[in-house]
Structure 1
C-alpha cells in the first residue's frame, strides 16, 4: 500500500482500540525506518497484540525496513523482547517513561496511559513535532544499552552500567549520602587541600564517620597544610589519611564498583557538579590511579609532625606535562624569599622565558621580597640588548639581578631553576627550534631533596665562577690583542726602516769589491757585505712574519717549470761552493748563522724522477725559491758543522722531486748527512723562534711552512734512519687551490 502524505494534520485518539488500529495502519506504509520509544508496560501490551507483532516482523523481513525499539527491559518483559529481537534493534534505558513512534521521519504517534482513564493518543505529520521527537529518540538511543548486554545483566543480576552528571549541591549531597548507605567494604577518597573541610564541616560528616563501625575501610588522600591541619586531625580519627604534595582532583570510589568526581569547591562546601559512573572498565582504571597515588603518599602522622616542626619531607617528582612545568616555574618564582639561581640551556630558552613573562615575575620578586637573582645563559645580540638594563645603575634592582654568559663548551641540555636552595626544577630541552616553552621542553624533575638541590647549587656556583674567569680572560685577551697589534705595527715599521739603508750598503759594497784591488780592504768590505746581507734577510723574515700573522701575505702566482727552477737553483749553489764564494751570496741560512768564508766540504746533487721533468705548476716563483733556498742553506750549515778538522770527507746534499699521482701532488725533498735535527726541536721545528744555534732567529722554517701551506701544500722533516743527517720535504698541489691565487693568507 503506497502512502500518500496529506497536508499537515493532527488527530487525537481516546481508546486503546483506535491507537492499535492507527499503529497497524502506520506499519503498512513505512518504507525506510520505524523508531519506537516505549516504557516497560507498553512494550508488553503492544507485542501481545498479534497484528502489531506481525506488522513489525514484515517490516524487517519483507520490506527491509530498519526497526529500532527503545524500552526498559525488565525480568517481566524479557520473554516478549526475545520474540522480536531477530527482526528489530532493541536497546535498554532505565526508568524510561515515554511512549511514542516516529515513522520514516515524517509521522509521529504519541500515547499516554493512566490507571483511572482511557489511554490518550496523538497522531501528526506536523514537521516541527516530528523532527523534535526524532531528535529526542536519537538522543535517548545514543544514551541506551544494547538489549544483549541488558539481558546478561538480568541473567547475572548485575547493575546497569551508566555514567551520569549530577547538578546542584543539595542533589549531590543527597546522592552522596545514599551511596554511603549502600557501601559494603571500602570507600577511597582523593581531594585537594580543600577536601578535608568539605567532609568535616558538612552534613555528610556524621554518616561518613559511622562507616568504620559497619566494618567499612576508609582511605583518604589529600594535601595536608598548616591551614587544613585541624580538619585532617579529625579525619585521622576515623580513616587512614595520607599526604600528597600539590595533589589535584576530587574523586571517590566505593567498593571498587562506583566512581564519582566533583568539580573544585570552596572550603566546607559541596561541589556544584558531580560525575558518577559504574562502568566497570572506567572504575577499575580510577581505582588503579588511586592505588598508585596511595603508594606514593606520606602517612598523615609524619606530615603533621613535619608541619609542627617546620620541616618538609624530601621528594623528587617527574613532570611530563609542559604546561604544568611552566605553571610550576611561575609558582616557584612567586614563593622565593632569598635567592633564585637560573641556568638556561640555550639562548632560545632564555628568550622563550622572556616571552612567557618569567622575567617580569623575577623583577617582581626582587622588588617585593628583596630576592637576589643570578642567571647564567648563552648569549646573542637579543639577550645582550635585553640584559643591558640590569647592568645600569639607573635600573632600580641592578644590584639584585645579575646575568653572566656561558661559553659553548659550558652549555648543557638542561635548564635549571633553584629557589632559596630549597627547591630545584631541572627541565630537559627537547626541540630548541620551537617558539613556546611548552613546545620546546621534555621531561622535568622537581625536588626539594637537600642533596639534590645542593648538588645543583654547587654546579651553578662552579659555572658562575668559570663564566667570571672567562669574562676576565676575554678582557685580558683583548688587551693582549691590542698590544700584539701595536707590537706588529712597530716591528713592521722598524723592519721597513732598517731595509731602507741596507740596500745602498749592499749595492755600494759590491761595487767597491769589484773595483778595489787591495786584499785587506776587500776582506773588510766582504765582512760588511756579509753582515748587511744577513741583516737584509732578517728584515725580510720579520716582514714576512708580520704579514703572515696579520693575514696580509700575498702570493703572486704564475705558471712555472718547477724542474727547471730547482735545477737552476742547485747549479747556482754548486757553482758558489766550487768557487768558495757562497759567503758572498747565500752562505747564511735564513736563521742568520754567522760564518766566515771557508771551504764547504759538500756537494749538491739534483735528481728528479722522469715523470716530473718539464712539469708546469702554478706557484709564486720567488716564494718557492725562498723556501728551497732556506732548506738548502740549513742543509749546508748542518753538513759544515759535521766537518771534522783534518778530515776532507765530502757530505753530499741531495735534492730530488717526485710526483704522487694518487694525490696529484709534487714532493720536493732535501736530504743531508749533517748533524740531524736536535731532539729538543720535536714538535716545534716549524714554530717561531725555534732554533738551537747561537746566532739564529728561528724564523726561516716558520716562514717556509706558511709559504708552503699558502700554496696548499705541507712541509715536514725527520732524521735519517741511518743516524746521519736529516730530510726535509714539502709538497705542492698540481692543481690550483681555490681561493689561494693572489689571495691573502
Structure 2
C-alpha cells in the first residue's frame, strides 16, 4: 500500500514537472519569437537610420560643393575690385572723389570678409564629410615644421586688429623635420592661432615647440631588450594664450563637432584639427593655464598657474635625419657662426 502511494506521488510530481516544462518551453518560444521580431525591427530601423544618415551626408556634401562654386568667383572678383579701388584712391586728389572711393572700399571690405567666412564654412563642412567618410587624403612631404610655424605666426599678426595682443614663437631648435601634409598642418596651426586671437583681448599668444622621446611598443608586446620596441622622437607644439580660457562645461566635449559657446564660429575647427593630427599619428589636447598645479607641465612648457587663458597642444612624429642632412645642418650652423664672427 505504501509502495503504491509512493508510485502515485512520483507519478504526480513527474506529471507536474512535465506540464511545467511544457509551459516553460512555450513561454521561452513566445519570448524568443518576440525578441526575434524586436531584433528584426531594430535591424530595419538601423538600416533606415543608416540610409538617412548617408543621404544627409551626401546632401550636405553636395550643398557645400554647390555653395563653394559661386563663392570662389565672388571672392576673386571682389579682391580685384578692392585692389583697383585702392590704386585709384592713391592716385586721386579730389576730396569729394576720395570720400566716395573710401566708402566703396569699406563696402567691399564687408563683402570680402563675409564671403571669406562663407568660404571657410563650406570648406569646414567638406572637411567634416571627408573625415566622417574616412576619405580625408594627406599629401605628405618632408619639411621643417618650424618654417611653417614662423609663416603662420607672421600671417596671424596681420589679422590682429587689437594692438594690445602680440603673437610670438619660442622654437626648440632651428630644424625639426616632419613628414606631413603641409597645407593641412598649416590649417591646424592657423586655426589654433585664430582661436587664441578671438578669445584674447590683451597679452601674448605664444607658439612653443619642444622635443621628447616617445617609446613605442610593437604588436608582439616585447620590450626593447627583445628587439620588439623602438624609441622615436616627436615634436610637441603648444599654442598658449592669455585670454578668457576654456569654459569648464565645454572642456569634456571641446574636440567634438559644434562644440562652441561663442556666437562666432561653428565649433568645427577643433574637431577638424584633432582629426588631422590623429591622421598624422599624433594627438591633440588642451587645458586651462590656471588648472595647472605647478609651473611646468609634463613637456617642460612654462604654464604659470597665475596666468589666464588656455594652452592647446599637439604632437607629431619627427623624421630621423639622414647622414647627408646632418652634414648639411652642421655646415649651415658653421656658416652662421662664421658670419657672426665676421660681424
**TM-score band (shorter)?**
0.7 to 0.9
**SS where residue 732 of structure 1 aligns?**
strand
Superimposed CA distance per residue, residues 600-654 of structure 1 (whole angstroms, 9 cap, x where no aligned partner) = 52111100113xx3121100000000011100000000103xxxxxxxxx41001
Gap regions ≥5 residues in structure 2? 90-100, 216-232, 291-304, 321-343
**SS where residue 23 of structure 2 aligns?**
coil
1:656 lines up with 2:211 in the alignment? no
**SS where residue 421 of structure 1 aligns?**
helix
Corresponding residue for 1:538? 121
- Give the 5 Å matches for 1:448-527: 465-516=34-85, 517=89, 518-527=101-110
Shift of 1:419: 4.7
Corresponding residue for 2:7? 303
Q: Answer 1 or 2: which has greater helix percent.
A: 2
What TM-score do the two structures reach when normalised by structure 2? Answer: 0.73
Asked whether the 8 Å contact 2:156–2:190 carries over to 1, the reply is: no
1:676 lines up with 2:245 in the alignment? yes
**SS where residue 254 of structure 2 aligns?**
coil
- CA 1:508–1:474: 2 relative to 1, 3 Å: same
- Give the 5 Å matches for 1:603-642: 603-610=166-173, 613-640=174-201
Shift of 1:484: 1.2
**SS where residue 560 of structure 1 aligns?**
strand
Gap regions ≥5 residues in structure 1? 1-232, 242-299, 316-335, 338-417, 424-453, 577-581, 588-597, 641-649, 737-745
**SS where residue 527 of structure 1 aligns?**
helix
Corresponding residue for 2:313? 729
**SS where residue 253 of structure 2 aligns?**
coil
Shift of 1:695: 3.3
**SS where residue 207 of structure 2 aligns?**
strand
**SS where residue 270 of structure 2 aligns?**
helix
**SS where residue 311 of structure 2 aligns?**
strand
Shift of 1:734: 2.2
Shift of 1:477: 1.4
**SS where residue 162 of structure 2 aligns?**
coil
Shift of 1:513: 1.4
CA distance in 2, matches of 1:462, 1:566: 63
**SS where residue 420 of structure 1 aligns?**
helix
- Give the 5 Å matches for 1:147-546: 301-307=5-11, 310-312=12-14, 419-421=21-23, 465-516=34-85, 517=89, 518-546=101-129
1:719 to 275, 281, 288: 288
Shift of 1:665: 1.7
Q: Which has the higher contact order (CA 8 A, sep 6+)?
A: 2
1:549 to 126, 132, 141: 132
What TM-score do the two structures reach when normalised by structure 1? Answer: 0.35
**SS where residue 655 of structure 1 aligns?**
strand
Q: Answer 1 or 2: which has greater strand percent.
A: 1
Aligned alpha-carbon RMSD (Å) = 2.7
CA distance in 1, matches of 2:211, 2:121: 33
- CA 1:477–1:600: 2 relative to 1, 3 Å: farther
- CA 1:463–1:707: 2 relative to 1, 3 Å: farther
CA distance in 1, matches of 2:315, 2:84: 44
Superimposed CA distance per residue, residues 674-695 of structure 1 (whole angstroms, 9 cap, x where no aligned partner) = 1111122132111111110123
Superimposed CA distance per residue, residues 284-322 of structure 1 (whole angstroms, 9 cap, x where no aligned partner) = xxxxxxxxxxxxxxxx53332454xx443888xxxxxxx
Shift of 1:551: 1.2
Pair member with larger Rg: 1
- CA 1:527–1:464: 2 relative to 1, 3 Å: same
